Copies of this chain bind each other. A is one copy, B any other.
Amino acid sequence: VSVEPFRLENGRLLLLDQAMLPTEERWRVVEDARAMAEAIAGLSVRGAPAIGIAGALGFALEASRVTESPEAALPLMRRAAATLKAARPTAVNLAHAVDRMAAAAEKDARSSGTAAWIARLWSEAQAIWDEDRRASRAMAEHGASLFATERRFLTHCHTGGLATGGGGTALGVVLELARRGRAVEVWATETRPLLQGARITAWELTRAGVATTLVADAAAPSLLARGVVEAVVVGADRIARNGDVANKIGTYPLALAAREAAIPFVVVAPTTTVDPRAATGAEIPIEERAAAEVLVFQGKRLAPEGCRAANPAFDVTPASLVSAIVTERSVLRGPFDGSTPIDFGAGPG
């Protein structure tokens, strides 16, 4: 069964602290929106769909603390929404989910008593979570249908159950093939600087009994050139209308190498990842994270004093390099020309 990033236990929300994996499987209690925003910013929970759900749950937790009338609580709830949305800037799912929660809070504020209003918001958050689980399931099935015989996949960063409400995006496709009896093997990039591939992807895959080989990020393109893998599957943090894909830094060189090796480069992401306001990737803001993530590892400085670091968290892969985009609704097959808007089906925006 797929791992999930959250669980509700006796009315408390617990979150698996992904920053501690694989050394330790530590579940943290999260009590309000600020704590959830910190968990998102500190990458205790990560993955575009998962942080959408985290935002919704954080908003519901904040609502649970309200003792006055819902209407009186609205200014506080608006601040909570802003705090949650600011926790990470690139993944659009977070803003989508929080906006949806905030709209529900505003809508029912005058007509409900406090307890009913809180219950309504928990049920909205639970709906967001459930929709994501169903989306993961649908993506896994659509994605699996793309690969009739392939066994050897390369993936980047982490896109498994812990990156979603459960099930996963790109990794969900590979795990679905394994469930169907395909003898899949996965080459996972370690994904510097925070090693989500080494720590989380390898943990989910070995836990599921899938043969897993870790490689340094920079080694992946040569594996493609040498024919070691048959396809590349990745997730997305934001997709522009033309199909340009913002995803974990290091996705773009994999797409270049896949084109060069003439193997499929497949993006798997729910339609909540599509940003209807971004016409192309140039309009997607790229989060620049702390230099210390690159300069320091396990408390030890890697580079000499006086050396700076650049730490963009994402890069943009042009639509023209993408072979297919798998959503919960459909499989969109390239080639994409990068100038025509893609019809993703009835979008969330």
Chain B CB within 8 A of A34 CB: no
Query: Which chain B residues border A206 with CB–CB below 8 Å?
Result: 304-307
Q: Which of A192, A307, A315 has the most CB of B within 10 A?
A: A307
Contact (Cβ within 8 A) B202 A307: yes
Q: Which of A189, A218, A316 has the most CB of B within 10 A?
A: A218
The answer, yes or no, to whether A225 is at the interface (CB within 8 Å) is yes
Q: Bound complex: CA of A311 vs CA of B192, how far in Å?
A: 15
The verdict on A300 contacting chain B, using a C-beta distance below 8 Å, is: yes
Q: How far does the alpha carbon of A13 sit from the alpha carbon of B316 in the complex, in Å?
A: 50
Q: Is A222 an interface residue (CB 8 A)?
A: yes
Residue from B211, B214, B301, B315 in contact with A303 in the complex, judged by beta carbons closer than 8 Å: B214
Q: Are A213 and B297 in contact (CB under 8 A)?
A: no
A303 with B198: CB separation less than 8 A = yes
B297 touches A222 (CB 8 A): no
A192 to B308, CA, bound (A): 18
Give Cα A310 to B198, complex, Å: 12
Known: A202-B304, A304-B206. A249 touches B310 (CB 8 A): no
Instruction: Give a binary string over A8-48; 1 marks a CB under 8 Å from any B CB, 0 the rest.
Output: 00000000000000110000000000000000000000000
* In the complex with contacts A190-B302, A256-B256, A215-B297 CB distance below 8 A: no
Least Cβ distance of A200 to chain B in Å? Answer: 10
Asked, given contacts A203-B304, A206-B306, A257-B252, whether A294 binds B225 with beta carbons under 8 Å apart, the answer is no
In the complex, the count of this chain's copies comes to: 2
CA A19 to CA B302, docked complex, whole Å: 12
Which residues in B have their C-beta under 8 angstroms from that of A199? 302-303
A202 B303 Cβ-Cβ under 8 A: yes
Can you name the residue of chain B whose Cβ is closest to the Cβ of A293?
A: B216
Contact present for A300 and B303 (CB under 8 Å)? no
A212 located at the interface, meaning its Cβ lies under 8 Å from any Cβ of chain B in the complex: yes
* A186-209 interface with B by 8 A CB criterion: 187-193, 195, 198-199, 202-203, 205-207
State how many angstroms separate the Cβ of A303 from the closest Cβ of chain B: 4
Contact among B188, B218, B223 with A217 in the assembled complex (CB-CB below 8 Å): B218
Q: Is A260 part of the contact surface with B, judged by Cβ < 8 Å?
A: yes
Flag if B215 contacts A310 (CB, 8 Å).
Answer: yes
A219 at interface by CB-CB < 8 Å: yes
Point out the residues of chain B lying under 8 angstroms from A276, CB to CB.
none
Question: Quick one: closest B residue to A251, CB to CB?
Answer: B218
Residues of A150-179 at the interface with B, using a CB-CB cut-off of 8 Å, are none
Given the complex, which residues of B lie within 8 Å of A249, measured CB to CB? 216, 218-219, 222
With A216-B249, A225-B316 already in contact, 5 other A-B pairs whose C-beta atoms are closer than 8 Å: A198-B295, A199-B302, A202-B304, A206-B304, A213-B308
